[in-house]
Amino acid sequence: MTIRTAPTLPDGVEWTAVVVAAHRAAESLSDRPAFRDPLAEAVVRHLGLAAPGRPPNFGSMPGEMAGTTALMGDLVVVRTLHIDQALTDAGLDQVVLLGAGLDGRAYRMPWTGRRIFELELPAGLALKDEAARAAGLKPIAGRTPVPADLAGDWPTDLFAAGFDPSRPTAWVAEGLTVYLTRAEADLLMSRVRGLSAPGSRLHIEIAQPIGERLTHDTATDDGMHRLVSVLRYGPPTPPHDWIAGHGWSPDALTLAELGNSYGRKVNDTWDPARGGIDLWYFDSGLLPARPA
């Protein structure tokens, strides 16, 4: 008889990082993967969400995962490809992942010489370290974990970890802003702008109007209730003026546009043309400072 140990999924908002890591693992372990993600593979194995070498089965995932993983469709794969490309094209050697979760870029991108700061709640980083250790994974790029709450005084922690504000930075907020309040998102953007040397870039995902579509009334299972309970909705709709108001060029593509360009199907939930939620991906440079 095989005794299966129950997966130890995180309790708080860090749980959402497992949902997206499961998608990257599924892609990584598919027959024709668009990318490989050894860290995501290690996470699903570590948590008992998939058998070794097998992709997670979204239809029967334990731990309240099935509904939310089905909701995502190809969202995570498309945004991963897009942000990988944007970071590679920008070529900046100081990268800050805001709400890094189980992002595996430090383990999978050929970025020797880049410094990748991973700002994330302590429990999220602990899970990542456990999974990497269990799989014997070592980062390729200069990974610097920074355990911190983005609603707190994270710049102090980032400086202590060796962040250099005189160098241009690539900031990444991928799958983050829906979990922040509007005030937290505003504060985050002000601080990011203040720490950005000329030449910095901002890669940020904004989903709206998510609060009207994903609610406890529309939730179909416990996982969806769990997702709804950690949503805080973040930036305003549409977000372009908000981005510009925080000093960044409002250049964005939608997930539906990116899905077409990568030949991946975006499900109805994320396609406003079919009644879904707008998802924008901003690849922004700094706007000239406004006269005081």
Q: Which residues bind ligand SAM (CB under 6 A)?
A: 13-14, 16-17, 20, 99-103, 120-121, 124, 149-151, 174-176, 179
- What's the token pair of residue 8? 């130890």
Nearer to ligand SAM, 14 or 278 (CB): 14
Min dist. Cβ of residue 238 to ligand SAM (A): 21
Computed from CA positions of residues 51, 54, 56, 60, in that sequence, does the dihedral angle turn out positive or negative?
negative
Task: Give Rg (Cα) of the chain.
Answer: 18
Asked whether the beta carbons of 49 and 57 are under 8 A apart, the reply is: no
Please give the structure tokens belonging to residue 284: 């922004």
Least separation in angstroms between residue 80's CB and ligand SAM is 8
Nearest to ligand SAM of 103, 271 (CB atom) = 103
Closest to ligand SAM by CB, 73 or 124: 124
Is the separation of the CB atoms in 129 and 102 below 8 Å?
A: no
CB 233 to ligand SAM: min, Å: 13
First-to-last C-alpha distance (Å) of the chain: 72
Q: Which is nearer to ligand SAM, 186 or 287 (CB)?
A: 186
The C-alpha atoms of residue 256 and residue 267 are separated, in whole angstroms, by 9
Q: Environment class of residue 34 by beta-carbon count within 10 Å: exposed (0-12), middle (13-18) or buried (19+)?
A: middle
> Which residue is nearest to ligand SAM, using beta carbons?
101
Torsion of CA 163, 92, 136, 16, to 10 degrees: 80
- Report how far apart, in Å, the C-alpha atoms of 145 and of each of 103, 120, 161, 279 are: 11, 8, 8, 28
**Closer residue to ligand SAM (CB): 86 or 287:** 86
CA–CA separation, 79 and 193 (whole Å) = 23
Distance CA 98, CA 237 (A): 21
Minimum Å gap between C-beta 86 and ligand SAM is 14
Q: Edge to edge, what strands does the sheet with 94-98 contain?
A: 142-147, 115-120, 94-98, 170-173, 201-208, 278-285, 252-254
Kindly tell me which of 225 and 287 has the beta carbon lying closer to ligand SAM: 225
Nearer to ligand SAM, 152 or 244 (CB): 152
**CB of residue 230 to ligand SAM, shortest distance in Å:** 8
Based on the number of CB atoms within 10 Å of its own CB, is 4 exposed (0-12), middle (13-18) or buried (19 or more)?
A: exposed
Q: Which is nearer to ligand SAM, 232 or 240 (CB)?
A: 232
Beta bridge partners of residue 280, listed in sequence order: 206, 254
